[in-house]
């Protein structure tokens, strides 16, 4: 039985597996909690701006209580392992960027990984892969924040708290759509799914 911190275990249960990506998000969230001196967000006190949609985001949701549903998790598709966490009550924010290296895989371990992700691994290979991930993440957990991340206090204009909008009915599909997302098409209300895309490419 592996002895894991309770909040780390919770993140693994939410995410579905234990992996380095999740662990980065977990450690980034821990670093933010320490730097901002906060606890998990019950409502929308904390806001997280994440710059990738990888495994780590699930740990941010579990640890910080920043979720898409509450409107205090903002995703920017920048492809960076970067997390900006802000506290609405104090106006303090911190940006945490992954700068360290995830422990690389040996050629043999990489072969094993391919077999597992390709769906052709034996039960034995699956077990071996999980053990490797376990060891890699355990080493990450034992690494000081400063060796993994660049952590800087930032000045941040936080978005306003989530608003509740009126709904209107799309004239094309008959489904309800938030007013702020509705369009007009041939003079009639249209949802985005029913709107023909018009773009000049920028
Ligand atoms: Zn994962
Ligand atoms: Zn529609």
* Number of compact structural domains in the chain: 2
Per DSSP, which regions of the chain are E strands?
Answer: 46-50, 73-75, 82-87, 93-98, 149-154, 167-169, 176-178, 183-185, 188-190
Residue 141 lies in a domain: yes
Q: 34 and 105: one domain?
A: yes
Residue 67 lies in a domain: yes
Q: 96 and 192: one domain?
A: no
Tell me the CA–centroid distance for residue 163 and ligand 2, in Å: 22
Residue range 9-26, pLDDT digits in tens: 999 999 998 999 999 999
CA distance 67 to 69: 5
CATH number at residue 100: 3.30.1330.130
Q: 57 and 86: one domain?
A: yes
pLDDT value of position 11: 97
Residue 120 lies in a domain: yes
> Residues near 87 by Cβ (< 8 Å), separated by ≥ 6?
36, 38, 45, 46, 93
Tell me the CA–centroid distance for residue 20 and ligand 2, in Å: 40
Residue 1 lies in a domain: no
CA distance 73 to 50: 7
| Domain coverage including residue 177 | 165-202
Residue range 112-162, pLDDT digits in tens: 999 998 988 899 999 999 999 989 999 999 999 999 999 999 987 766 666
pLDDT value of position 58: 97
pLDDT value of position 159: 62
In 3D space, the residue among 47, 55, 44 whose CA is nearest the CA of residue 20 turns out to be: 55
Q: 89 and 44: one domain?
A: yes
Percent of the residues in the chain that have a pLDDT greater than 90, as a whole number: 67
Residue 125 lies in a domain: yes
Q: Which ligand is nearest to the CA of 192?
A: 2
CATH number at residue 182: 3.30.60
Average pLDDT over all residues of the chain: 89
Q: 193 and 129: one domain?
A: no
Q: 133 and 194: one domain?
A: no
Q: 43 and 111: one domain?
A: yes
Nearest-Å Rg of the Cα atoms of the chain is 21
Q: 108 and 173: one domain?
A: no
Tell me the CA–centroid distance for residue 53 and ligand 1, in Å: 11
Residue 134 lies in a domain: yes
Tell me the CA–centroid distance for residue 63 and ligand 2, in Å: 36
Whether the pLDDT of residue 103 is over 90: the answer is no
Concatenated DSSP letters of 51-108: S--STHHHHHHHHH---TTTT-EEE------EEEEEETTT--EEEEEE-SPPPPPPHH
Q: Is the pTM of the predicted complex or chain greater than 0.85?
A: no
Tell me the CA–centroid distance for residue 160 and ligand 2, in Å: 28
Tell me the CA–centroid distance for residue 1 and ligand 1, in Å: 20
């Amino acid at each position: 039985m592996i002895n894991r911190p309770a909040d780390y275990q919770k993140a693994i249960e939410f995410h579905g597996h234990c992996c380095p990506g999740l662990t980065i998000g977990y450690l980034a969230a821990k670093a933010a909690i320490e730097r901002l001196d906060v606890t998990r967000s019950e409502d929308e006190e904390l806001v997280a701006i994440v710059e990738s949609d990888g495994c780590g985001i699930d740990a941010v949701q579990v640890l910080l209580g920043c979720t898409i549903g509450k409107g205090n998790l903002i995703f920017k598709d920048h492809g960076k392992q970067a997390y900006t966490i802000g506290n609405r009550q104090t106006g303090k924010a911190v940006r945490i960027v992954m700068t360290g290296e995830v422990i690389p895989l040996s050629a043999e371990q990489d072969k094993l990984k391919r077999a597992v992700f390709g769906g052709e691994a034996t039960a034995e290979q699956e077990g071996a892969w999980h053990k490797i991930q376990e060891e890699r993440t355990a080493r990450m957990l034992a690494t000081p924040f400063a060796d993994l991340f660049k952590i800087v206090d930032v000045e941040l204009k936080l978005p306003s708290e989530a608003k509740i909008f009126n709904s209107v009915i799309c004239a094309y599909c008959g489904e309800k759509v938030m007013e702020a997302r509705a369009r007009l098409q041939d003079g009639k209300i249209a949802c985005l799914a029913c709107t023909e895309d018009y773009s000049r490419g920028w």
